[in-house]
Amino acid sequence: MTRAFTTQRFGANGVLRLTAMAASALFLAGCSLMPVEQRPALDVPARFAEADSTATAMLMSTEEPGRWQPAEPADHQPPSPWWTVFGDPVLVRLEEEAINANPDVAIAMARLKQARALTARSEAARMPEIDAGFGTTRQRISGAAAGGDDETPGSMGTLWRAQATFAYEVDLFGRVSSSIAAARADAAQQQALAHQMLLLVQADVARTYFSLRQLEGERRLLSETVKLREVAAELLEHKLGVGAVARHVVEQARTELYLARAEQASVDQQYALTSHALATLLGKPPAALAWDVTPLETVAVQLPPGLPSTLLERRPDIAAAERAMAAENARIGVARAAFFPSLSLTGALGYESADLGNLLLWSQRTFLLGPLAGTALNLPLFDGGRRRADLDRVRAVYEQRVAAYRKTVLQAFREVEDALSSVRTLGARIGYQRSAESASSQVARAAQSRFDEGDVDYLVVVDAERTLLRSRQSLIQSEGERARVTVDLVRALGGGWNAPRAEQASMHDRVMPKPDPTHFRE
């Protein structure tokens, strides 16, 4: 009976030689061709240019200004609930709803789970693959194949087989370990990107919420203005009836009333669109968002920016860029390993018999050590430059990741400086606007009194009231802008990682999927 595959039998010396070869291979498995990652040189300033002296005094004294600090991203920690610094219970509730229902957050979490699954799959390459099977083959062998001549009749045969097979790639030059390192870095990058998406959604919720409250303040201001101008128009029409004022005065009053109503309709439209945007961020249809909105109050939250080097730890997008560099650096090791020999250990053991009833007899045992076809140890000699091209490509991708990292860091510094500048200048602008609002209020009252006394034309009253309305509306808009800029500063600083541990753990459990602790080693 001719077997379906060749069985190789080894004596004691052969087994010893095979064992020695495997031991040597396992010893060499510690070798890795992955290059040591070199962090790009960055010119980190000693302080933020737009930070005032009070913020500088609150910096951590353990860091040396101007000294490059290697990025040690804090993205393994759960982000802090930074929105609580505003002391707004409605905002806290909205942020909680967004964390649980926002579709972009759900997408980011799903991508993180995919990355962690790919990491687990890569780590499985460190273990041997073992399979078991049972089956039969029916074959007709020609007489010539059995060693006879062309006149020898062929024979039919049935072979039953029950066996277990194993395969294991010895990591001679770190191909497997480099692949695992790349997969871990990819998963860590996805975790940082998930934190980044979470931070962006939280910032968008806060910004939209403050915009909605700002628009509510404008709506109430314009509603009050419309009512006052309706009363003024009715009063002037009454005076027209008794001949106390000219008709053009009444027409001017009606014009101002219609302009105020038109502006009220415009603000109502902005309010509706902003409300719809907020509902989408909360993972709800716009019709499901119904709650009483109060006008925005003064938001004056002081946020010390910290040293510029700490920004490299707090920003999740910087952490993601750093993880991307690490992943490509590991893939260089994979590409380098392709130039060196690879060793695959394979084998099979089990039973073969022509009769199913005799399959499990000890005499029918069989084993195979080594590949059924080819060789166990393979040394690449010539491939037309394919491996060299692969290595060049991976190195180019790594250089791209380095440039992207530098760009992300520079963009982060710019965003912080922009936010600090906006917070500082808005404080001064709001102070001036408060003074202007107070002065224009006095001018409007004086103009109305002089018109009632007949000293000035009604156009003076109209101009004073327009100035007062614009002053009040500009003040409301600036307060809203300051609230949004404060949120921008929080986002630019990375949201922070200094919340109480209980709050961190609570939010982290609600949002982030449970990680395998072996996947993310700092």
DSSP 130-151: EEEEEEEEEEEE-TTTTT--TT
Residue 65 lies in a domain: no
The sign of the CA dihedral 204, 209, 210, 212 is: positive
DSSP string covering 242-268: TTSS-HHHHHHHHHHHHHHHHHHHHHH
Amino acid of residue 435? S
Report whether 203 contacts 488 (CB < 8 A): yes
Read off φ and ψ for residue 386, nearest 5 degrees: -65, -45
Residue 68 lies in a domain: no
Report whether 295 contacts 216 (CB < 8 A): yes
Say which residue the tokens 């074959």 belong to.
Answer: 139
Amino acid of residue 242? V
Residue 136 lies in a domain: no
Contacts of 36 (CB under 8 A, 6+ apart): none
Say which residue the tokens 């499990």 belong to.
Answer: 360
Residue 134 corresponds to which tokens in the numbers above? 């049972």
In whole angstroms, what is the distance from residue 122 CA to residue 185 CA?
12
Read off φ and ψ for residue 41, nearest 5 degrees: -75, 130
In terms of Cβ atoms closer than 10 Å to its own Cβ (0-12, 13-18, 19+), residue 254 is middle
Amino acid of residue 431? G
The pairing of strands 377-378 and 365-369 is unpaired
Residue 72, pLDDT score? 58
Residue 338 corresponds to which tokens in the numbers above? 């392709």
Domain count, the chain: 1
Residue 189 lies in a domain: yes
Residue 132 lies in a domain: no
Residue 6 lies in a domain: no
In whole angstroms, what is the distance from residue 188 CA to residue 326 CA?
10
In whole angstroms, what is the distance from residue 285 CA to residue 266 CA?
23
DSSP state of 344: E
Distance of CA 196 to the CA centre of its chain: 4
Element (H, E) at 123: helix 103-123
Residue 16 lies in a domain: no
Residue 31, pLDDT score? 63
Task: Tell me how crowded residue 153 is: count the other CB atoms within 10 A of its CB.
Answer: 8
| Closest C-alpha among 227, 248, 201, 15 to residue 96 | 201
Greatest CA span in the chain, whole angstroms?
136
In whole angstroms, what is the distance from residue 314 CA to residue 499 CA?
13
pTM to 2 decimal places: 0.79
How many Cα atoms within 13 Å fall on the side-chain side of residue 136?
11
Report whether 358 contacts 336 (CB < 8 A): no
Residue 10, pLDDT score? 40
Q: How far is CA 273 from CA 202, 217, 269, in A?
A: 19, 16, 6
CATH of the domain at 380: 1.20.1600.10
The sign of the CA dihedral 270, 272, 274, 280 is: negative
Q: Supply the range of the domain harboring residue 408.
A: 27-56+82-125+156-511
| Closest C-alpha among 130, 129, 122 to residue 177 | 122
Residue 359 lies in a domain: yes
Distance of CA 381 to the CA centre of its chain: 43
pLDDT, mean of each 10-residue run, the chain (522 residues): 37 46 48 72 78 45 36 63 89 93 92 92 89 87 74 80 88 88 92 91 95 96 94 89 87 93 96 95 90 84 74 86 93 91 88 84 84 77 91 94 93 92 90 94 92 84 91 94 92 69 44 41 32
Residue 510, pLDDT score? 46
DSSP string covering 74-91: -TTSPPP-GGGGG--HHH
Distance of CA 464 to the CA centre of its chain: 51
Report whether 161 contacts 135 (CB < 8 A): yes
Residue 406, pLDDT score? 92
- Paired residues of 170 in beta bridges: 343
In whole angstroms, what is the distance from residue 319 CA to residue 13 CA?
54
Residue 405, pLDDT score? 93
In terms of Cβ atoms closer than 10 Å to its own Cβ (0-12, 13-18, 19+), residue 290 is exposed
3-state secondary structure of 207: helix
pLDDT (tens digit, 9 = 90+) per residue, 350-374? 888 888 888 888 888 888 887 776 6
The pairing of strands 365-369 and 129-141 is unpaired
